[in-house]
Structure 1
Amino acid sequence: MKKMDVIFRQVFFKNLKSKTWLWIVLGPLVLAAVFGGVFWLMNQTNQTSKIGVVTSSPALTSTLKASSDADQRYISYSSTAAAKRAMADEDLDGVLTISTQPTTHASLIERTDGNGINQTQLQSVLAQAHTKEVAAQLKLSTTQLQGLFATPQLATTSVSVDKGKLVSRSAKTQKSGAMVGFILGMLIYTFVISYASMMAQEIGTEKGSRIEESILTAITPQAQFFGKLLGILALMAVQMAIYGVVTLAGGLLLQRLPKNPLSSLMTNIDLSGISLNMLLFSLAFFFVGTLTYTVLAALTGSLVANQEQIGQATTPIVMLGML
């Protein structure tokens, strides 16, 4: 046990201080920070589009103003010339001119360097406004109009088969399960590529430099193998602990921000669908998967004759992990 402990400490502390392991730990964090920053900037730059409305119908004007939201805002102007002057001053992103004679007709002038205008939403608003205009001409009441265009409600329930029984599952729960599976798969693949190569490098370097024969005269192959394996697993545990601390600290920091950039993303995630059994099975798959590939890397690393052949020896493992 003492000799295996010496091998464990040598592998653990040597790689803990290396720049390679530091990049293995910081690389995913840097990528996550970059993607999070891009997502935050996209939300920050998503400004409200301003559309100037020119029409002689007060009903159309009031309907369009009532349809304003965080994405598009409708502003009334007395003439097309005034609206165009406002657009030239970059106060508007578009000018919407609506004519009601002989039939309702609308034309849009959009500024190419302004905020994008959702024309699908605009057409829906125009259709709604036109419907109210026609209803007013036909002297239909609000109740009659609502009854005419009322849409039957459709209730949808997602279910899954569990031991011959139907179990209700929401769409958010399915998305959460798929998200956890994707994250778990990416973590396993990342750890396999990183630590399998590190394990093969440890054994292949010693064998290629002819130090292996000297080591085996003082220690058994089993003690050397398990010492290196425990050292690599300890490095993996440290990395996972760092990720856990960073995730917890990041979550607490986001909660303190006045405008959480991930609030819109979290609304589509149902954490209640992630059960304890799911987490335990995920951790079990993660541990068994990384352990299996690390052992395979150690076996292939022992087959090389020199250090230059380590990359070729670990290629089948990498391809198997990709599959």
Structure 2
Amino acid sequence: MHKYWIITKDVYLKNIKSVSFLIMLLAPFLALAAFYFIGQFSSNSDEDFKSGIVIEGESTLQGLQEFVAFEEGFTSFETKEAGEKALQKDGLDALLLLKVENDTLVAEMLSQESASQETLMGLNFQLSQLQSSLRAQALGLGAEEVAAINQPVSVNVQKVSFDEAGNLQEEADFSGIRTIVGMMSTILLFIFIVTYASIIAQEIASEKGTRIMEVILSSVSSRSHFYGKLSGILLVALTQVAVYLASFGIAFYWFKDKPSIKAFLSEFSIKDIFGEFLIFTIVYLLLGIFIYAVLAALCGSLVSKVEDVSKAILPVTYLSLAGYMIGLTLGLSNPGHAAIRITSYIPFLSSYTMPIRLANDNVPLLQVLLSLGILIATLITLVIFSSKMYRSNVLIYNDNGIWAALKQSFVLMKNERQKN
């Protein structure tokens, strides 16, 4: 047991102190900062976007009250030639040409540079409103009549459930924010798996490639070595998760007094929104990282050179990618899809899909516990199986591929059993 802790501590400290871990730890914060500044820059760019407007021909637009407010955001020109001169001298970013033909707006924008999609969408919305007002004026309709025609139909969705007696009960619907948390869990799980699968496979393959593994196993049991390596990497992953949770807590403490946060918390409590859902999501996240890490360690022990690690962990990558795509695509478009329900009981995939089901459905506790039981049983079986194969795998140097090494490992393990 003492040697196990020595290996665990060595692997943990070596990875924690590495520059790559620091970069990996700071990457999400840098990405968030980049998105923030890009958003700020984009909004400032849209605010600085200067446009001119020219009304071509005789127009009934001047009599519209809505057009007066619309025209205030533009620099008006009497003629198209005057607007083109201003556009040529870089005084304008774009020139909007408007005319009315048979009570229909015809618009053309002249621009030397492409306008942002946000600017174009806003312009299209405003012109559509003007078109409606123009048609209403032609038909002799008043403003109140137009508003009554355009009155949208709102659907009030009420989440309900039934108690043991079959009585209907109304519930608050928190599926929106829960879906966001479920999607974040899916994305984080995929990132952690891809990252740490490579790290743990390289950790094992590097010692095997230098032939130092034979020396290590002469003084340490293969099981202690395997569990030590695995535990060290998992502690690194847990450290990263802990840093993110602590950062979220600090950020919440700083911004909790903002009016928007106060208004949100006045209507809902964190317990009401998340409750058991958040606990189960974190459990699935951690178990997902663990089971893929064990599979990556098994694959890494089959290669003879560090250069072959990327090929060895392809099964891990493809399997996690399958769960990621199912959870992300169907989770957003159709969370009640049969594929989501079925894969929520399949190990390696349930960590992706069960949080999506929990976010959108009233999944019975028995089904959640059944899914967790299958996942935990598979994890324990995989750990025992991998630890037994580990000694055979790390002593095999086969350049014919991972399947040839796996076959040779089975033969060696079978011979050892017969000797014992």
TM-score (norm: length of structure 2)? 0.58
Aligned residues: 302
Percent identity between the two aligned chains: 24
| Matched residue, 1:281 | 280
- Distance apart, 1:285 and its partner CA: 0.6
The code of the aligned residue for 2:131 comes to: A
For 2:24, the equivalent position in structure 1 comes to 24
Within 2, Cα distance between the matches of 1:210 and 1:84? Answer: 75
Alignment of 1:166-181 (within 5 A): 173-181=174-182
Question: Are the equivalent residues in 1 in contact too, given 2:52–2:92 (CA < 8 A)?
Answer: no
What SS does structure 1 have at the residue aligned with 2:211? coil
Alignment of 1:194-205 (within 5 A): 194-205=195-206
Distance in 1 between the 2:100 and 2:205 partners? 80
Which has a greater percent of helix?
2
User: Which residue identity does 1:316 align to in structure 2?
Assistant: P
Residue number in structure 1 paired with 2:300? 301
Q: Which residue of 2 aligns with 1:190?
A: 191
SS in 1 for 2:316: helix
Check 1:75–1:233 CA distance in 2 against 1; reply closer, same or farther (3 A cut).
Answer: same
With over 3 angstroms needed to count, the CA separation of the structure-2 counterparts of 1:56 and 1:256, relative to structure 1, is farther
Q: Secondary structure at the match of 1:111?
A: strand
Compared with structure 1, are the counterparts of its residues 207 and 158 closer, same or farther at alpha carbon in structure 2 (3 Å cutoff)?
same
Higher relative contact order, chain-length normalized (CA < 8 Å, sep 6+): 1
1:65/1:74 contact within 8 Å kept: no
Check whether the contact 1:192–1:321 (CA below 8 A) recurs between aligned residues: yes
Q: 1:220 to 1:113 in 2, by over 3 A?
A: same
Quick check: 1:157–1:169 contact (8 Å CA) kept in 2?
A: no
**Structure 1 residues 91 and 317, CA gap change in structure 2 (3 angstroms):** closer
Residue 62 (structure 1) aligned with residue 68 (structure 2): no
Do structure 1's residue 226 and structure 2's residue 230 form an aligned pair?
A: no
For residue 240 of structure 1, what is the amino acid of its counterpart? V
Cross-structure match for 2:317 = 318
> What does the per-residue CA deviation read over 1:40-61, in whole Å, with 9 as the maximum and x for residues that have no partner?
3222222366453646758625
The corresponding residue for 1:9 is: 9
Are 2:93 and 2:111, in contact at CA under 8 Å, matched by a contact in 1? no
Q: CA deviation at 1:295?
A: 1.5
Assess, with a 3 A threshold, how the Cα gap between structure 1 residues 251 and 83 changes in structure 2: closer, same or farther. farther
Q: 1:27 Cα shift?
A: 3.7
Contact 1:196/1:294, CA 8 A, preserved across alignment = yes
Q: Is the 8 A contact 2:3 2:224 kept in 1?
A: yes
- Per the alignment, do residues 60 and 94 of structure 1 end up closer, same or farther by CA in structure 2, a change over 3 Å counting? farther
Q: 1:85 to 1:280 in 2, by over 3 A?
A: same
TM superposition shift of 1:234:
1.7
**Cα shift at 1:293:** 1.2
Paired residue type of 1:44 = N
Q: 1:63 to 1:233 in 2, by over 3 A?
A: same
Q: Is 1:65–1:73's contact at 8 Å kept on the other side of the alignment?
A: no
Please list every run of 5 or more consecutive structure 2 residues that lacks an aligned counterpart in the other structure.
323-420
Aligned position for 2:73: 73
- Equivalent AA in structure 1 for residue 234 of structure 2: L
1:42 aligns with 2:42: yes
> 1: CA distance between counterparts of 2:93 and 2:308?
64
User: What is the Cα-based RMSD across aligned positions, in Å?
Assistant: 4.2
The C-alpha deviation readout for 1:230-259, integer Å capped at 9, x for no partner, is: 2112211221233334445666788999xx
- State the Cα distance separating 1:225 from its structure 2 match: 2.7
SS at match of 1:46: helix
Could you tell me how far apart the structure 2 residues matched to 1:306 and 1:80 are?
A: 71
C-alpha distance 104-185 of structure 1, shift in aligned 2 (>3 A): closer
Deviation at 1:8, TM superposition (A): 1.6
Q: Give the CA deviation at 1:63.
A: 2.5
Residue 142 of structure 1 deviates from its aligned partner by 5.6
Query: Structure 1 counterpart of 2:217, which letter?
Result: L
Change (3 A) 1:142 1:6: closer
Q: Which runs of 5+ in 1 are unaligned?
A: none
User: How far 1:226 sits from its partner (Å)?
Assistant: 2.7
Residue matched to 1:236: 237
SS of 1:125 mapped into structure 2: helix
